[in-house]
Each structure stands twice: as C-alpha cells, then as structure tokens.
Amino acid sequence: MNDSSSASKSKQPLGEILVEAGLVSPSQIKIALQEQQEHDLRIGEILALHGWISQKTADFFVLQWSNLLHQPQKKPLVYYFSEAGLLNKTQIQRILKLQKQREPKIRFHNLAVELGYLKQFTVDFFLANLFNIYNPNSRSFAKPYSLIKD
C-alpha cells in the first residue's frame, strides 16, 4: 500500500472502517448516526450498546487501527483478531488444536472462517489492509460507506 493510500485509510471514520471490514452493515451505521444526534455517545459506543460489535472492537479500531496500518513489522494475523475482540482465547485454542490435527495443513484464518468465528470478508479486510494481500475472489465493493451518505 502506498503512503497516500495508507494515510487516507487511517483517517477514515469508524463507521466506514467497520462496514468495509464486514463487521456492521451500512443500515446499522445509519441508525447509530441518527442516535448519535439524540445522545451524547460515540458511534462505537452506540454500536456496542446495540450488541452489533463489542466495545473492545470499537476501541481497537479507534485507538489502534491507524497506528497498525503504519507499522512496518507485522504480527501474526491471530494477534489482530484477538486485539480487536473478534476471537476469544477459547476460540483461538480450538482453532490451534484443529490446525495441528488437520492434514493437509490449513491456515489459521481459514479455519476461523470454516468454524464460523469470522467472515471471509473480515479476514480479507485484515489481509488487504495490514499485509497488502488481496483476495481476487472477495465480494467486496469499492465504497460501501457511500450507501449511507445520502
């Protein structure tokens, strides 16, 4: 990812990031934005109160995401899923156990999707943004956030 693209990614609104990651829908963001006008809460707090994401997930994208995009040294993908509150310790242990039992070997994130812990869309988002790896089979679309900016 070039510097200008990386810089613009780090300045995205939380709602846009969460929609692009497949963690919430545009309609959920639209509801949260409407509720934000009525209450003194941040978008992440509103989404968490509805149970659409965890507060840990909102905090991860608000507090850590921008810095992670600029770090040249990356950690294993599982680290980011854990930090974002997308996988808990029990899920991670189960995936690691299954990974050891599988022949042929299967990648951690593929097992997480297979077990229903993560969506392929979300995995693709992390791979594309953190590791500059794109899945040509992904059903992503260019600007999902624009659907709610009417």
SS (H, E, C) 93-140: HHHHHHHHHCCCCCCHHHHHHHCCCCCHHHHHHHHHHHHCCCCCCCCC
Which tens digits make up the pLDDT trace of 135-148? Answer: 655 554 444 433 33
Residue range 86-115: average pLDDT? 95
Residue 73 DSSP class: S
Q: Give the domain range for residue 121.
A: 3-148
Residue 46, classed as helix, strand or coil, is helix
Q: Please give the model's pTM, rounded to 2 decimal places.
A: 0.81
pLDDT in the model for residue 138? 53
CA distance 35 to 80: 29
| CB-based contact 81:88 (threshold 8 Å) | no
Nearest-10 Cα torsion for 22, 56, 71, 78: -70
Residue range 97-114: average pLDDT? 93
pLDDT in the model for residue 147? 39
Total domain count for the chain?
1
